Amino acid sequence: MTAVPLQRIAGDLRAVQRVLPPGAIELACHASLPVAVDPPLLHLIRTNFLPDLPYDLEARLLLSPLFQELGDGLYEIKPDLRDVLLAALVARHGTERLRRLAVLLERYTDLRTSWPDRPELAHAQRLTALHVLQPREAERWLAQHEPGSSGDELAPTWFVAMRRQIRNLPARDQGLLSRLLRAATEQLRRPDRPRQVADVLTVVALLGLPGLLAAAVMYALEALRAASADTDPAVRRAARDALPDVEVEVRLDDSDNLGSQRAPTDRPRADGLADPTASRVVLIGNGDLRGRQSLPGIATALQGLADALAEPEIWGIDRRNCQVLLDAGRREVEAALRRAAAEVGPDGLLLVHYAGHGLSDLAEEGLVLSTADTDLLLPRHTGLPYSVVERCLRGSAARQTLVVLDCDHTGQISGSAWFRTAQPVDCLIALQQPALPSPSAGEFPLTRELTRLLWSGIPGAGTLLDAQTIYQQLQPSLPADVRLLLADTNDSRLTPLTRNRVRPTSPLVGRIFSVAPEATDASPYGAVVMVLRHHPLEGTLGVRLDDPSRQKLDLPPEWSGLPAPPAVVFRGGTPAERPGFIAVARLREDEGLPAGIALLRDRVAVLTRHAVPARLRPYLAGIRLFTGYLGWAPDQFEELLADGAAWQANQAVAHRLLMTDRPEDLPRLLAPGRTLLRSIDAPRPSLETLLNDLVAGIGRGDRVSVVLVHDAGRPTSTAKVDRLVRSGPETRTGSGIEALGPLLAYRGRQFAHQVFTTHSAPVIARAVRNEGCEAALLRLLADSSLPARSDDAVQVYEIEDHPGLGREEGDDVRSWTDSTAERLAELITGNHVCVVGHDGAPGVIVAALRQLRKKGLARITWVTASDELSAIRVSREADLDRALGGKVSFYHGVDSDRLFPLLRGRLGAFPPGTPRLGVGVRFPRAEHELLLDPH
């Protein structure tokens, strides 16, 4: 293009930009497709495509320098401008907008009756529209109607003009605008001549066009900034006056205008998805059908699906390759389908999605898709038969063709015979029933759920989604009376379609936590839990990693070698409501994962019911199979963390030990302060046996009276008690004494509502009161009357020590011991006495127990922290039995700090609703996703 037409074009644009409001150039771009426009056609263009522009802009634009009048109310855009405006239209909105304009032009020409004396104009308008929609048909029409080949009365010059006119359609040369701007910029930057004001104004006028490439715009802005410092005052003033407005306009237009001009990439796609640049998508919606309920929400539904497909994290289809047809006629739909089939590349996906009214063919069995011009009385002739859809798609070069039908009467597609023969459609997803009830306004179940699924992703379905996975996830989310049909050829249902956009809902997901003994049900060292699901409104789901069973795994051959040793079933928690295993996996890599693997974090994943061993084996380093899971209601697991009953383990160590062959050691290996270099003491079986003994006895009806004894000879004991008493009620000591308070508060009947202690009575009473339970602090003196009892309060008795206790006994000590023991024996009401001591015990306790034995006391359990029997002045257990007048259950090496927290967890001595390990919250949806049956 020479300099003279360039300045002329810029002058016309500048004249419009000066006198008309923003949007005038945009409307002119839309009006550049027709050969000529009249006021009614321009009004339809503005109403359909730019409804926010003012009404009076139509007349003002027709009278502007961009148009020239032809007479009889007809106007045409100047030929030099028309190519530029068409290129700007396509660059800004894509060829989809051009096609829609062509459809509007075609319809308007067919309905227009005021051009009977201008047959050449009507033919020119129809041919222009036809060339945009079906270029080959337009060429064929021109060849058939050349002068001498038909009886048409069209002059030869008309054919020459039309061939020249449509040669530049549909204006695919998107670089035209940038070349013009660059040429104008080079003129402004020429070093061999002074800058001219006209050069500045030309660049400014061209910058007002939509659809410019970012590089060309930046180049022009640099030239304008340089001109703003020119020595010529006129040039300097013109550049400075224009720069603020131009820069603001560029910034406002950047996301829509410059962002759409992304250079295509030639890099091969390594993720297995169809190439979006080579793919075509046609979304068809028909909500209005005479005689049927209107579906006004169809535009929103299809636009939401188009937005999802255009999202780079899902697929990233270019908007220009995704055509949305709303309430279009049969011809327009057929044209769109044929055009998409012709344009799709060999690496692309051809996706056709229909939402609307489905009809049954009256003449023969078959499905008819309704369009804007469908007559219920003549569905086959006025609607779009599914067989026509197949014919339109036949011959495409797409690697896969997918059709999704969200309508009724899809049962008319013959199910099994559909994919036995070679069809142009590789995969079909459709609602399957004879007819659906008329859905409520905006109700398109398949479209709605598919859009939701694409945005939210599918936990456990890998990094890519195929039709099989989408189908399996959609079916449970649809209404109960809706069924889906999935049919394919050559296993195309397994071809990846989109990325899986699922993200962990919480930073807790995939992390491993140690749970304190007081919140567990079994292990004296606590438990180790991995969180698999967490949502603040739904709760937390996890599995216990340290509880293997003795049940050997019995798996089919295809699963052999995948479970890490030991190859046994792990008890993950409370059994699920449906059969199956939860499979936690350690991955070799975490990129390009197939369906069936839900990545949690750091190469740790969970398998889902989509898992196929043959496809997953290259990715798996080992798996664990769990029966059941742990479930917490919303906020319960967070309360465990806040209370200090659970804490995050060292994740690097925990994930490295995930597949250890000694999973029962995980609680000790991940305990606070532990490292892999420290030696691990063997577990003390006496503690586990003691817990089982106490819990079993309480289950049989035992009422346990606890006698807590501290060594009077240890000066630190008194100091510790004084420190605990001075502590505030909210202070957490972490000792067994604190855990004894909840035991007495919430399981008072099992503990006879009483406890006896030599030094810790104030602390125990405070621990009971902290749980909201009344506690009576009483002192047991040898020379006082028995304290009054209360059935409404926990009785905390403090046994006063004699000054000579622990030394060689004299008469005064023996007298005090006998008197106090008698009173103590009268106060103990339980049928099972549990003495918990440190390094020794006062003789008063032994005396009292001997008296209770004579009265028929059933059981005595003696627990001491020392490993030596000599600490309680006996050399063997038989001596203790003889001293107490009967068999005593003796446990050594156990202190109160270990016993009472574990006993609290075993007996569930927690307030109502307190989060614990193993609470029975169930997650049916998660079970549906995660439970797999290897058989």
* Predicted confidence (pLDDT) per residue in 296-354, tens digit: 678 888 888 998 898 887 898 988 899 999 888 898 999 899 899 888 888 899 999 99
Going by pLDDT thresholds of 50, 70 and 90, the confidence category of residue 573 is confident
Lowest mean pLDDT: which of 178-187, 252-261, 600-609? 252-261
pLDDT tens digits for 491-541? 778 888 898 876 545 788 889 998 876 566 555 567 899 999 887 767 889
Angle made by CA atoms 537, 923, 562, in degrees to the nearest 5: 120
pLDDT at 333 (0 to 100): 93
Average pLDDT over all residues of the chain: 75
Q: Please give the average per-residue pLDDT across 22-33, as a whole number.
A: 86
Q: Please give the average per-residue pLDDT across 360-387, as a whole number.
A: 78
pLDDT at 303 (0 to 100): 86
pLDDT over 60 at 717, yes or no: no
CB proximity list for 548: less than 8 A, separation 6 or greater: 566, 568, 569, 570, 571, 663, 664
pLDDT at 655 (0 to 100): 84
Going by pLDDT thresholds of 50, 70 and 90, the confidence category of residue 368 is confident
More confident residue, 76 or 116: 76
More confident residue, 725 or 617: 617
pLDDT at 915 (0 to 100): 46
pLDDT over 70 at 287, yes or no: yes
pLDDT at 863 (0 to 100): 86
Beta bridge partners of 529: 513, 544
Going by pLDDT thresholds of 50, 70 and 90, the confidence category of residue 141 is confident
Contact 436, 430 (CB under 8 A): no
Q: Please give the average per-residue pLDDT across 582-606, as a whole number.
A: 82
Q: Please give the average per-residue pLDDT across 616-623, as a whole number.
A: 89
pLDDT at 731 (0 to 100): 35
Going by pLDDT thresholds of 50, 70 and 90, the confidence category of residue 622 is very high
**pTM for the model:** 0.36
pLDDT tens digits for 75-104? 888 877 888 888 888 877 777 788 888 888
pLDDT tens digits for 733-751? 345 677 788 888 888 888 9
Tokens representing 484? 């889906």
pLDDT at 624 (0 to 100): 94
Tokens representing 846? 């032994």
Going by pLDDT thresholds of 50, 70 and 90, the confidence category of residue 760 is confident
More confident residue, 746 or 377: 746
Contact 369, 354 (CB under 8 A): yes
pLDDT at 253 (0 to 100): 47
Going by pLDDT thresholds of 50, 70 and 90, the confidence category of residue 44 is confident
Lowest mean pLDDT: which of 428-437, 547-556, 646-655, 758-767? 428-437
CA distances from 808 to 111, 239, 805, 837 (A): 122, 110, 8, 20
Going by pLDDT thresholds of 50, 70 and 90, the confidence category of residue 819 is confident
Longest CA pairwise span in the chain (Å) = 145
Contact 390, 336 (CB under 8 A): no
pLDDT over 60 at 678, yes or no: no
Q: Please give the average per-residue pLDDT across 629-642, as a whole number.
A: 81
Whole-number Å distance between alpha carbons of 351 and 159: 38
Q: Please give the average per-residue pLDDT across 793-803, as a whole number.
A: 77
Beta bridge partners of 864: 837, 892
pLDDT over 60 at 166, yes or no: no
pLDDT at 508 (0 to 100): 87
pLDDT at 584 (0 to 100): 95
Give the CA count within 13 Å in the CB-facing half-sphere of 609: 18
Q: Please give the average per-residue pLDDT across 2-26, as a whole number.
A: 76
State the DSSP string of 41-84: HHHHHHHHH-TTS-TTHHHHHHTSTTEEEEETTEEEE-HHHHHH
